[in-house]
Amino acid sequence: MSAYRLLVDWEVIEKINQLPRQTRLALRQAFSKIGSAPDQLSDYREPNPRGIPLDVHLCAGFAIKYWIDFADRHVKVLDLEPADHP
């Protein structure tokens, strides 16, 4: 199975650019892994404000929230928030 195309929201990129170098590297590596196998890295799911379930992967103290578009083979990283737990 081929990798998905990874699409990252601009606000997520802005948040990452403000983080320490080691955290940025860890998150970028996690994004790469999510793009390769998005359905295997989800730690849990939660609905967005419209009720659409988003996958969430925990990494470096952050929750990476993404939506898998299986039809188009895209993974859309929509949000990055501090995780409630490590």
* Overall number of domains in the chain: 1
| β-pair type (53-59, 62-69) | antiparallel
pLDDT at 28 over 80: yes
| CATH number for 65 | 3.30.2310.20
Res. 2 pLDDT band, cuts 50 70 90: low
pLDDT at 3 over 90: no
Range(s) of the domain holding residue 72:
5-82
pLDDT at 21 over 80: yes
CA 51, 7, 35: angle at the middle one, nearest 5? 95
pTM of the model: 0.90
Q: What pLDDT sits at residue 85?
A: 55
